[in-house]
Structure 1
C-alpha cells in the first residue's frame, strides 16, 4: 500500500468517476481506508473495491477514524474541489495541528488532491470567464443577494436544494431583476445532467433537481459603491433627514468596511441606515428608531433599496441595543436625552469601534463635549467638527446661498 503514513485529502469532482484526476485515482488506489459522505463514497466504491469504507462527514469523527486506522494509508474524499466550500479546509487545519502535537500522528504526511468544482465545470460548459465570477453559497447559510447581483457581472451560487433555487428566483423578481439570464446546472457530470438558461420566472415554472448550482448574469452590474446619496432618493415625509453633505462627512468619519457591524441610533427616515447598508454589504446594520412614522419610512427605504442586511428595531435607546457590544461602527443621530447612558454602554465594549455623534441643539452639544472628555480619559482618539453647509436657491434671476443648520460632528475612535 505504499507509505502508510499518508493521509490523502481528495477532491473527487462532481461525482462522475470519469472526472477524477490521475493523481487522485493513484492516491485512492494506494489507500486502504476511504472516508467520506454517503454520496461521495457511493461514487467511488464500485471502481475501488477491497477497501475499508467509512461513511462520515463530521470532522471530529473523521479524525477518530483516521486515528483508529493510523497504520493504514487513508483517503478522505470530498465532492468538487477541496478548496471551494469544502470540509477539507477545516480537516486539514485539525490534522496539521495533530501532526505537530500528537505522538500518534507523528511523521504523518497530509497530501491534497484538487478536483473539478461545480463552479469550474459550469463556467466551462457555459463559456463563462471564471475570473469575473463572484462566489456565494446558500447551502445551509444566508448570503446578501441584492448587492452581489447588482455589483457583479456574474454571480455563482451553490443553492440549498430545489426550493433554494426558487427562493432566489422569487428574491430576484422582488428586486426588479426580471430579465437577467440565469444558467442553472443540475446533476452536473451525471447521465441526467441538464443545463438551462432562462429568467427567474422561467425557472420558477420548472421541476428542479436538488443537486444544482447557478450562475446569474448581470451585464449592467455597477461595481462602484459610494455614499452621500441625494436627499431626493429617500422616502422622507415630515421626518427629519440627515442632509447629503453632512451624511457624506459622517460616512467618511465612520470608515465602514464590507463586514462591519453598524448601529444607527435615532435613525429618523433611515438615510444613514441605507448608506451604512450599502457599505457594509457583507455585514449587518441595526436601525433604532422610536417614532412610529419614522419607522414606517425606514421600512419603505429598506424596501426601495432592497437592503437585506438591515434589522429595524422600534425602540427608544438604550432599549434595542442588545448587540451594541458587537458593533464596530456606531452613529448616534438622535438619543432622546439618553446620550450619556448610551455611551456608558458602548464604552464597555472591547471592540475597536468608531462612534460618530451629530449634534444640533446646544444641550446635545454640551453633552457631546462631556462625552469627548470621558472618551479621552479612556484612551480614545477624539475630534469635533463644525459643519456649516449653504446651498444655492434661485430667487428670481438670482441665486442666493441658503444656510442649513450648523451641525457638530463628534468622532470617538479606539
Structure 2
C-alpha cells in the first residue's frame, strides 16, 4: 500500500522548526493527530480534521486505522522512535505504509547541554512506568537520563535515591529543551525540595552513593537479605547456578512456577531490560513478597499470577524457559510445562525432597537432559570456632525441548 501515514517529530520550536519535508507532509495531510500541545501549534484557521490522543492510546490508533487511505499526519514530541508513539504505531501498521521524520530527542538535547556521551549513559522513560524502574541502574558514577511523567517526577526520583543510599546524587532538571523557555535547575537528592517545575522536563542524574552503601550488582546471585521472604527462597549460591542454567537471552519469557518470593524471575529480568517473566504463586503472603521484591529491585513490570499450577498456567503466553522450584509433585505439572515450552526452550527443575527427586528421575528418563547435585556449605560459628553448616542438597534437572518433537 502507498504511504498514507506520516509521523513527524516536533520540538519546542514548533512548526517553524520543521524541515521542508516534514512541513510538506503536514501541509498535505487531510487528518492531523497529536497531543493538545501539538495541535495548539497549528494556525487557528486550520480547519482540517484533528484528533487529540485519548486514553487508552489504542482507541486513537483504531481511529487512525479507520482513516487508512486518507493522508494522515501524527505529530509527536522529539524523536517518535525514542520512547515515543512511533514505536506503538509500528506494532499495528507496517513501516512500508508510513514515513517517520524525527526531531532531536530529549536525550540528544540533554547530552548536548551537559556534554555527555549518549552511548555511555542509561536512559529511562517514566511516562507510564514506576519510578522504581531506575533502581537497576544505581551505581557509583553512573549517569542516567530520565523522561519525566510530569513535574512531580523529580521529587519521586529524589525520594528513591535517598531510600537506596544515593542521596548525594546530583540532579539536573532540564525543562522545555530546545525552546525559548528552556531552563536548567541543579540540586542533590538529599536536599531536593523544588516544586516550581514544568510538566515537560527531562532528568539528568549523576549517581553518588552515601557512605556505607553497598550497591547491588546486576549479575545473578543477589544477597539473600536483598529479598523479603518467609524462608521460601532459592539461596544465593543455588540461585546463581539456576540462572546460569536457565541462560536468559534478551526478549525471552520465563515462567517461574511456584515462585516463592520471586527471586528467580526477578534476577532473570535484571539480566536484560528486554527480558520478560511471569511469577506463578498461590500463597497470598508470598504474592505480596514477590510484588515488593520486584519493586525494590527495579523490575516492577514482573507479571504476577495468583493461582496453583498447573491450572494457573493454562492461558499464559508460550515461554522460552520454565523454572520449577516448588510444587513439582503436582499431578501432570511437568507434562503441561513440557507441552507449553517453545521448541528449543529450557526446562529447569530444582528438587529437594525424595518424592520430587523421583519425579525428576522419571522425566529425565523420558526427555533426557542434564542432572546435577548441588551441595553448599557455609562457615558458621561453633562456639569460639568456625564450622561448616551444610544447606539442603538440591538435585537440578535441565532439559532442552527439541526443535521438532
| 1:15–1:190 Cα contact (<8 Å) kept | yes
Alignment partner, residue 69 of structure 2:
67
Matches within 5 A, 1:242-391: 242-268=234-260, 271-272=263-264, 274-279=266-271, 281-282=273-274, 283-286=276-279, 288=281, 290=283, 305=297, 308-310=300-302, 317-318=309-310, 321=313, 325-335=317-327, 337-338=329-330, 340-349=331-340, 351-352=342-343, 353-374=345-366, 376=367, 382-390=369-377
Decide which of 116, 134, 140 is 2:104's aligned counterpart: 116
Distance 2:263 2:48 in 1: 58
In the superposition, relative to structure 1, how do residues 318 and 149 fare at CA in structure 2: closer, same or farther (>3 Å)? same
Distance 1:118 1:332 in 2: 43
Q: Does 1:83 align with 2:81?
A: yes
What are the superposed Cα offsets for residues 50-97 of structure 1, whole Å, 9 maximum, x if unpaired? x7644236455456667346xxxx865433134323434565783655
Alignment partner, residue 94 of structure 1:
93
In the superposition, relative to structure 1, how do residues 159 and 371 fare at CA in structure 2: closer, same or farther (>3 Å)? same
Distance 1:324 1:223 in 2: 31
Gaps of 5+ in 2: 54-59
Matches within 5 A, 1:13-162: 13-17=11-15, 19-21=17-19, 24-25=22-23, 27=24, 31=28, 35-37=32-34, 38-45=36-43, 53-56=48-51, 58-59=60-61, 61-62=63-64, 67-68=69-70, 77-88=75-86, 94=93, 97=96, 112-141=100-129, 145-150=133-138, 153-162=142-151
Count of residue correspondences: 384
Matches within 5 A, 1:159-174: 159-174=148-163
Greater gyration radius: 1
Q: Given the two structures, how large is their TM-score scaled by the length of structure 1?
A: 0.71
In the superposition, relative to structure 1, how do residues 350 and 117 fare at CA in structure 2: closer, same or farther (>3 Å)? same
Q: Let me know the Cα RMSD of the aligned residues.
A: 4.4
| 1:285–1:309 Cα contact (<8 Å) kept | no
Gaps of 5+ in 1: 99-109
Alignment partner, residue 410 of structure 1:
397
Alignment partner, residue 205 of structure 2:
216
In the superposition, relative to structure 1, how do residues 32 and 249 fare at CA in structure 2: closer, same or farther (>3 Å)? closer
Distance 2:315 2:131 in 1: 20
In the superposition, relative to structure 1, how do residues 116 and 197 fare at CA in structure 2: closer, same or farther (>3 Å)? same
Partner SS state of residue 45, structure 1: coil
- How far is the alpha carbon of 1:254 from its aligned partner? 0.9
Alignment partner, residue 228 of structure 1:
221
